[in-house]
Structure 1
């Protein structure tokens, strides 16, 4: 036993640089992911911010009171509907988009052109939603937007279309911008999976007379099936938060306003406003916990369905 311990210590010392990097990651994970979980308890207590840290333990236990308050809130159905619809629309459009982009990039013969297209496509991922709103406002603003000027000039509309202020347009604009912003980044994952496919398979298929579409259908897609399933499960798990389409919270909070609030208010923005603006931290925690529990359920369900349908899963 002592000899095994000495061998283990020597191994750690030889790998001290790598172990140090791993230790930093573990510490950050504990500080910012696991330690805050202790605060979940206030969702079941009558906690006030002026109670401080001690109040987390000493405040009165109220059980499921805040959960009942949220489910009985007059806007609950509207907020829940917005969260689900926006998340589902993002999944339906942002999930296949990077796969199609990766397939198209893989078919390009010119490496230089491929690198240019790939760089241009994933650059939007590094742009904050604040800057995205600035860009969108320049194009979609009802008074000064470029798109409305073009539509009016071509007589395609008689009055400017309020893309950014109308609740009727919010889902469409949010989904389109999510696809534009995140497709290039996620395409990198699928391109990496495609690069791992044996090139001899393509050569053999081409010699047998298989066309480009046939090679994609029978070689490329089956070759990246495990990556597609893994990304799909993770996307479904984070569906209510935005999934592959990025943060629903940032997008709805920045693009939301008093006019389109009936479509832009989601669980995350409601919890944020309730917690900070009204100081109801216990109630806001309960609201966020509802979304977290739904997300965990979606991960478990999607993983089981994927295992049964494709034989692939993440656990």
Structure 2
């Protein structure tokens, strides 16, 4: 029996419901191993088919969805036509959501963990691999960012023509902030703390603020290409922005906020959307004698 492997097959960007933290954005890298007898081509499975079939299968079933543990006593789920309505009660308040069923993944078990999602993916992949594949192994892992700060955020982009329009999907994101050409862990930590387990909301999508058990909650609503979306979430787990929450707009927002909070300085922000992608924005005082690339390579950390 032979084993082939594919590292970094895909990145699953999603949000899930946590018993204490509420809604948590996450990004997990997916590594794959397939073991079995060699086929007529001398392969366990063609790498080209893995990238087309298995990657697409994971992206279609997990990526940009809200993962919900259906056996938790904190959740109530109602399915109606093509929509799902749910309520999640946790120590921070109540999360209520109405969304097309394709924007959620209802998972067996009392909580969403790496182990539960790994088992789900192994069973899913087993349905598409050829008969000579006897064993499927999946490893889920976070990006290794060392000691650099990161944050978990959830959001929705109603104008997006793909799955980003779903109102509750998210990312685990690194951030690089340069103050006057020098990387600043101080500012990075400040924003990581500010956006820890946050829902980033767009002012235009906010329908109102209401009290549930004396706790203020924001209600977001919008119609998008995939259908109607509604989300109620505790106000103190939200951060409001007056634009859409694309990563380009988030980078610009952070840079502008930094320039306001620390006047007279120049800031460059590299904001990530999950793993290996993101946007760059500048704000504040200009830095004479520095070019776009030269000062970015000058990276003493302060």
User: TM-score category by the smaller chain?
Assistant: under 0.3
Structure having the larger proportion of residues in helix: 1
Structure 1 length-normalised TM: 0.23
Structure number with greater CO (CA < 8 Å, separation at least 6) is 1
